Amino acid sequence: MGENIPREYPATVPHHHPFDPIRPDEISLATTILKASFPGVNLRFKVIDVKEPIKKDVIPYIEAERTGQPLSPPPPRLLFSYLHRLDTHAFLKAVINVDTKAVISLKELPSHIQGPVDVDEMIGLETVCLQHPRVIEEIAKLQLPEGVTVCTDPWIYGTDDENEHRRLVQFYMFIVPVDHPQSNHYSLPCTFSPVLDANTGELVRIDYLPTGGDHSTTETQPWKPVKAVEYAHDLIETPLRQDLKPLIVQQPEGPSFSLDGQLVQWQKWRFRVGFNYREGLVLYNLTFDGRNVFYRLSLSEMTVPYGDPRRPFHRKQAFDVGDVGLGITCNQLSLGCDCLGHIKYFDGFRIDSQGRPVHLRNVICLHEQDAGILHKHTNYRNGQATVVRNRQLVVQMICTVSNYEYIFAWVLDQAGGVEFETRATGIMSTIPIDDDKGLDLPFSTPVGPGVSAPFHQHIFNLRIDPAIDGFNNTVVYEDSVPLVPEEHGIDDPYGVGYVARTTVLDRAGFSDTNVELGRVFKIRNDSVINAISRKPVAYKVQTVASQRMIMSSRSFNARRARFHEHPVWVTRYQDDELFAAGEFTNQSRESTGVDKWAARGDDILDKDVVFWHTFALTHNPRTEDFPVMPVEKLSVHFKPSGFHEKNPALDVPSSQQAVNKSTLVEEAAKAACCN
Amino acid sequence: MGENIPREYPATVPHHHPFDPIRPDEISLATTILKASFPGVNLRFKVIDVKEPIKKDVIPYIEAERTGQPLSPPPPRLLFSYLHRLDTHAFLKAVINVDTKAVISLKELPSHIQGPVDVDEMIGLETVCLQHPRVIEEIAKLQLPEGVTVCTDPWIYGTDDENEHRRLVQFYMFIVPVDHPQSNHYSLPCTFSPVLDANTGELVRIDYLPTGGDHSTTETQPWKPVKAVEYAHDLIETPLRQDLKPLIVQQPEGPSFSLDGQLVQWQKWRFRVGFNYREGLVLYNLTFDGRNVFYRLSLSEMTVPYGDPRRPFHRKQAFDVGDVGLGITCNQLSLGCDCLGHIKYFDGFRIDSQGRPVHLRNVICLHEQDAGILHKHTNYRNGQATVVRNRQLVVQMICTVSNYEYIFAWVLDQAGGVEFETRATGIMSTIPIDDDKGLDLPFSTPVGPGVSAPFHQHIFNLRIDPAIDGFNNTVVYEDSVPLVPEEHGIDDPYGVGYVARTTVLDRAGFSDTNVELGRVFKIRNDSVINAISRKPVAYKVQTVASQRMIMSSRSFNARRARFHEHPVWVTRYQDDELFAAGEFTNQSRESTGVDKWAARGDDILDKDVVFWHTFALTHNPRTEDFPVMPVEKLSVHFKPSGFHEKNPALDVPSSQQAVNKSTLVEEAAKAACCN
């Protein structure tokens, strides 16, 4: 840990943009200030990161930027920190003003609050667990052959007891069949699982895992060797395919975007790439053709509850944003592996437990892609066609949360559209099973010898802070319903008429998708009227209609993640309301998030509103999802809807062979033949 | 029309594959045979095409191919024709055996049946309409300035009268503001609309179009010039974007597919590309890694009903497959415009009204694309990652149905997945409106001066003839529901357990999607058990949950397209049951399709079944959809689900910079700088 700060990075940075991510000099400054606040006390730092700027202060600044006016001074630059006093074990939250170098708030959090897991903690505990005599003793019972070892994935403990205030970690143990950096230990789960107190390092107990159709467990037995289902190309027995030919994306004139620090400009879009330890990638201040569209876009939370009721699996419920942080689980990406074409990478910084900056290289990538046709029309009378290709800009991060991978991308298009794409891949969480008894667990899919992947759900919440032609907006939904002659004053003798029925959300709260009514949500600005449609300018949200959490509403799983209850929540904007399940999710007992804020019932007509979209993937594993899972994709789309007077991509040049240089297969074959 | 047959095409072809599309020598043979059957009678040919081979005869043939056994003789090659006797005006259907050169069936269809519109008919009637004295008289009333002309789009008449047996065509008239091949006349719709009898060429009447909030109409008035909303780059006033840089796909070693006539092999897939006048692109006999997956895949029907209740718009309902034919509305594609990379084009043939072959060049394109990451896992302990890119094979056609475009593509992936992607683009059907009176039609969106785009739905039906490891299959659906301790024999004290509840469809009929229950449809083979999952091998269908037709169930629109009523229909296979709304849709009064066949309630357990999926797009236009619409996409996915024992794409080589040759933006900038 604690990699060197690159030399080219300026030691002090006089001026930041309010949306810039944290820099190493700021981390060092904060650490110094905090240490000075606790003379003689040893501190353990969990997080130091930028605190969101106060919105009312930042709006004049970004509006001046947008309209080309002289800039006022930026709003105060604030940082926050989560930290532990090692003397009292108190968990603290501090807020620091970088400009004044002052601690402006410092509070000790109640003892039932657990901060997120940090990297040093995770790695440190792994060692503590594996070196614990009781664990060593348990491993010995496996009587593993020479060269076969054991490793452990520390897991978020979850919650099943209102009164449990210890910081606990569940260690799932796996057999590593071969000394190879990509050996798939998830194929060989052990049947015992230590629980440690993360603060004291004490072993609380060893849980034994049920392997059959009920809750019963058995003592650790000698391992009966079975073959792991491997994914690494060195380890699989099938030869690799020989018939996949290279496909290269060339951009001889370079990419179509331009960069200035975190500022990106591309095809009428202008926005800032943000990064923090928790949400990872954040987009700020998106404008299209000089008009405001979104203030801030981020994945605010996700939770993954498992459907296996057997102890201790009933506690398996990760909040990958709140419990750990997408920013610290981001992959450091490699050229040519994760994207094609001309790639711009953005770096980030996190801290180690000493409060030192850790450089995270290439955690966000930015590139263009071709996505087929954007629009086409052929005049059938003469065959004359206009074809415009769908060039897109992709801003992507890939997060590894132990076994599993998420690929999150914001995809912008030339017609004002924004897509949030989630791809789930990686290795599913596995459990050991007795597979010699014709076992059929109704909540799990066998995926290899002695190993099964339990059913689970991925429940995401996207936080959309809109700015449709301004910062005060209104949320409505439109249903497509049969025309009612009496209401609309027109006969419909053949029963074919249908209309859009608009419902305005005037109070903060929630709303549901409705496939039968073709429900479409819109975020509009009632103060700006489109001259052609004669309606307020708007963006529509193509919500994902998906299953809610299946677990009982009395379960901790459901109570901790109330955001799952409705696909749409709308709140009145308040600073510090960022995360759908609340600020602290690790071992939380109930949500302190969007459900609470929505319950205020604030007036949200033509106000600064936040739109929260929950969508989910119920994942009952396929055998094909193991050992590593082909991506499962979900997409939420945001599209201008009466925002422009006409298609804003009419000015995109046509698709032409002179530019695209495609090859006719027959010609290529002929050429190859002549060589 | 009637383009030359290319010289290189063999004059007679001794042997066809049963799934090959029709060839010009077959068309000529059929025309000769049919003419000989009616000595002295003038015939007008509408269609000559291949009749689907009888499935029980073709299966032994393709199974011998698949398993490398000696081939038995192919099944009889059958063609069919729709034709008119010009003496009696009878509409006939003939079936011909090419091998024996015999007419094996010939029947006169009832007088209320209308065949599809053919190309010669459409073009011929356009001239008849524009040259009719009453139409010329009406155009004169517009008092158009010099250089401004009128054109017409013949439209499917639709149905509003059980007793109307004439073959009618509705002509929507438009002002052509400028003599340019891509002038957007759809921006300037006229308020009169002639109706002609297509058989006699007689003007039946002129419909006047309502332009306000009720059914009232006015006489044709002199045109008040307004600017058309243009899309052609020559005609728009905005300068084209200068900041879009070229993006070139290079495949230096050629494509990864191999071809043998209509046979395509790519990444474990093997299938045949079919083509007919009606469905256009059809995929046959898809196998993956030598195992049967699908017998036949096609878009079987689509209907587009409009939500404007005013006469004559209440009749606007196209069946673009059955009324016209996707094969004859296919674009002839151009290299570098519609796809990137190495492109293989397939041609097709249709007939003209004399029964002569017409060569349709480049109607189907085949190419590879990169679709991001297929799977990735990083071992967080050491940062070692396996990344495999998602190479796809796209088989695509683009259809122009008058004003509108559909891009239909089958997309195959390396992990056994198949996607059917529909993109809607082109120009929306428009109506004239009085826009100076604050008019707000609740079923239409103004899209320019004096022009509005009415609400409508696109309702598609995909016909899936599966062959999951064999030709007898069973359809089931699985719902994810809370575990019931009493039923599953296991306690669930924390209320977190959930299971998949399977419902087997044992009788032909229909079924519905269910978002709340996370319903997944599967097509499985109960005779083949997966050794790992210990369940029957299966493919799952990721159905699109969408709104049904909004029109009243008593409306002709709904009665003609009963397939809209349920997203899933399952029938027992019978030859000749191909089209969801029935064989003849033009001016049909009721469906004769899948609803009737499903109503037989056949036993479908472990039988030769057909799975029909209806999905829809409710399209309430945006101003941004005009003058030409950014694509709106819908996708249906088919994925192996317990078909393989593990991820079948593990053997795909890793994504590597050495192969992919991506460029770091900073390096490119530095290089450009040094030049």
Rounded Cα–Cα distance for residues B385 and B654 (Å) = 10
Do residues A511 and A477 touch, judged by C-beta distance below 8 A?
A: yes
Inter-CA distances, A453 with A187, A243, A622, A627, Å: 10, 32, 9, 10
Do residues B487 and A306 touch, judged by C-beta distance below 8 A?
A: no
- DSSP annotation of B320: I
Inter-CA distances, A527 with A468, A521, A534, A538, Å: 10, 18, 12, 11
Rounded Cα–Cα distance for residues A136 and A148 (Å) = 14
Strand partners, B156: B169
pLDDT of A672 reads 61
Please state, rounded to an integer, the average pLDDT across all residues of chain B: 95
Give B81's pLDDT tier (boundaries 50, 70, 90).
Answer: very high
Give B312→chain A minimum CA distance, Å.
11
The catalytically annotated residue of B208, B277, B404, B406 is: B404
Instruction: Give the tokens for residue B184.
Output: 């957007």
Give A7's pLDDT tier (boundaries 50, 70, 90).
Answer: very low
Rounded Cα–Cα distance for residues A560 and A540 (Å) = 30
A277 is catalytic: no
Question: Is B631–A494 a contact, with Cβ atoms under 8 angstroms apart?
Answer: no
Rounded Cα–Cα distance for residues B543 and B520 (Å) = 8
Give B4's pLDDT tier (boundaries 50, 70, 90).
Answer: very low
Query: What confidence tens digit (pLDDT) does each residue in B582-628 have?
Result: 999 999 999 999 999 999 999 999 999 999 999 999 999 999 999 99
Question: Is B639–A628 a contact, with Cβ atoms under 8 angstroms apart?
Answer: no
What residue in B sits closest to A123 (Cα-Cα)?
Answer: B381
Do residues A564 and A546 touch, judged by C-beta distance below 8 A?
A: no
Inter-CA distances, B572 with A263, A617, B243, B520, Å: 59, 32, 55, 21
In degrees and rounded to multiples of 5, residue A134 shows phi and psi of -65, -35
What residue in B sits closest to A617 (Cα-Cα)?
Answer: B518
Check: CATH 3.30.930.10 for B24-108?
no
Give A245→chain B minimum CA distance, Å.
5
Q: What is the mean pLDDT of residues B401-430?
A: 97
User: Counting beta carbons within 10 angstroms of the beta carbon of residue B114, is it exposed (0 to 12), middle (13 to 18) or buried (19 or more)?
Assistant: buried
- Say which residue the tokens 């679709």 belong to: B371
In degrees and rounded to multiples of 5, residue A660 shows phi and psi of -80, -25
User: Above 70 in pLDDT, residue A306?
Assistant: yes
| Nearest CB to B547; choose among A417, A515, A554 | A515
Helix (H, G, I), strand (E, B) or coil at B62: helix
Inter-CA distances, A621 with A29, A429, A524, B149, B643, Å: 47, 10, 40, 62, 12
For residue B184, give the nearest of B413, B8, B479, B403 by alpha carbon.
B403
- Say which residue the tokens 């030691």 belong to: A11
Percent of chain A with pLDDT over 90: 94
Q: Could you tell me which CATH class the domain B281-306+317-380+390-428+455-650 is placed in?
A: mainly beta
Q: What is the mean pLDDT of residues A173-188?
A: 97
Residues 6 or more apart whose CB falls under 8 angstroms from that of B149 comprise B175, B176, B179
User: Above 80 in pLDDT, residue B383?
Assistant: yes
Which residues on A lie below 8 Å from B289 (Cβ)?
A: none
Strands in B543-607 per DSSP E: 568-572
pLDDT of B186 reads 98
Strand partners, A360: A348
Would you call the peptide bond into B312 cis, given omega within 30 degrees of 0 as the criterion? yes
Question: Is A618–B480 a contact, with Cβ atoms under 8 angstroms apart?
Answer: yes
Which residues on B lie below 8 Å from A630 (Cβ)?
A: 374-375, 413, 415, 417, 647, 649
Q: Could you tell me which CATH class the domain A119-208 is placed in?
A: alpha beta
Rounded Cα–Cα distance for residues B367 and A373 (Å) = 14
pLDDT of B15 reads 62
Question: Is A623–B533 a contact, with Cβ atoms under 8 angstroms apart?
Answer: yes
pLDDT of A16 reads 84
| Nearest CB to A253; choose among B246, B493, B498 | B246
Which residues on B lie below 8 Å from A186 (Cβ)?
A: none
Helix (H, G, I), strand (E, B) or coil at A550: coil
Question: Is A496–B310 a contact, with Cβ atoms under 8 angstroms apart?
Answer: no
Inter-CA distances, A574 with A55, A97, A350, A579, Å: 9, 20, 26, 12
Residues 6 or more apart whose CB falls under 8 angstroms from that of B582 comprise B322, B588, B591, B592, B593, B596
Q: DSSP readout, A249-268?
A: EE-TT--S-EEETTEEEETT
- Pairing status of strand B663-664 against strand A342-351: parallel
| Nearest CB to B651; choose among A241, A641, A647 | A241
H/E stretch holding A337 reads none
Rounded Cα–Cα distance for residues B579 and B303 (Å) = 12
Rounded Cα–Cα distance for residues A535 and A523 (Å) = 12
Looking at chain B, how many residues does it have? 675
Question: Is B379–A181 a contact, with Cβ atoms under 8 angstroms apart?
Answer: yes
Cα of B659 vs its chain's centroid, Å: 36
Would you call the peptide bond into B482 cis, given omega within 30 degrees of 0 as the criterion? no
The catalytically annotated residue of A61, A186, A404, A539 is: A404
Rounded Cα–Cα distance for residues B182 and A378 (Å) = 8
Number of A to B CB contacts under 8 A, please give it: 594
Domain limits of chain A?
Answer: 24-108, 119-208, 281-306+317-380+390-428+455-650
pLDDT of B674 reads 54
Give A40→chain B minimum CA distance, Å.
34
Do residues A411 and A419 touch, judged by C-beta distance below 8 A?
A: yes
Query: What confidence tens digit (pLDDT) does each residue in A522-538 have?
Result: 999 999 999 999 999 99
pLDDT of A77 reads 95
Return the higher-pLDDT residue of A121 and A16.
Answer: A121
Helix (H, G, I), strand (E, B) or coil at A60: helix
User: Above 60 in pLDDT, residue A14?
Assistant: no
User: Above 80 in pLDDT, residue A365?
Assistant: yes
Please state, rounded to an integer, the average pLDDT across all residues of chain A: 95
Query: What confidence tens digit (pLDDT) does each residue in B332-346 have?
Result: 998 988 989 999 999
pLDDT of B11 reads 40
Given its phi and psi angles, is residue B235 left (phi above 0), alpha (psi -120 to 50 degrees) or beta? alpha
Which residues on B lie below 8 Å from A307 (Cβ)?
A: 480, 483, 496-499
For residue A563, give the nearest of A284, A299, A282 by alpha carbon.
A299
Longest Cα–Cα distance of chain A, Å, equals 86
Pick from A126, A494, A519 the residue to mutate for testing the B interface (most B CBs within 10 Å).
A494
- Say which residue the tokens 């050991």 belong to: A432
Would you call the peptide bond into A627 cis, given omega within 30 degrees of 0 as the criterion? yes
ipTM of model: 0.95
Query: What confidence tens digit (pLDDT) does each residue in A233-285 have?
Result: 999 989 999 999 999 999 999 999 999 999 999 999 999 999 999 999 999 99
User: Above 90 in pLDDT, residue B118?
Assistant: yes
Rounded Cα–Cα distance for residues B483 and A436 (Å) = 24
pLDDT of A673 reads 56
Which residues on B lie below 8 Å from A500 (Cβ)?
A: 442, 455, 620
Which residues on B lie below 8 Å from A625 (Cβ)?
A: 647
Do residues B654 and B386 touch, judged by C-beta distance below 8 A?
A: yes
Rounded Cα–Cα distance for residues A207 and B85 (Å) = 84
Inter-CA distances, A215 with A309, B194, B342, B426, B638, Å: 9, 76, 57, 59, 36
Beta-carbon-side half-sphere exposure of residue A279 (alpha carbons within 13 Å):
26
pLDDT of B337 reads 87
Stated pTM of the model: 0.96
Looking at chain A, how many residues does it have? 675
Helix (H, G, I), strand (E, B) or coil at B48: strand
Query: What confidence tens digit (pLDDT) does each residue in B258-276 have?
Result: 999 999 999 999 999 999 9
Print the SS3 string covering A645-666.
Answer: CCCCCCCCCCCCHHHHCCEEHH
In degrees and rounded to multiples of 5, residue B452 shows phi and psi of -140, 155
Strands in B468-552 per DSSP E: 474-482, 498-504, 509-511, 520-529, 536-542
Rounded Cα–Cα distance for residues A38 and B237 (Å) = 66
Same fold, A119-208 and A281-306+317-380+390-428+455-650: no
For residue B513, give the nearest of B489, B546, B535, B536 by alpha carbon.
B546
A234 is catalytic: no
For residue B569, give the nearest of B515, B519, B609 by alpha carbon.
B609
Do residues A224 and A447 touch, judged by C-beta distance below 8 A?
A: no
Q: What is the mean pLDDT of residues B625-641?
A: 98
> What's the N-to-C CA distance of chain B in angstroms?
54
User: Counting beta carbons within 10 angstroms of the beta carbon of residue B590, is it exposed (0 to 12), middle (13 to 18) or buried (19 or more)?
Assistant: middle
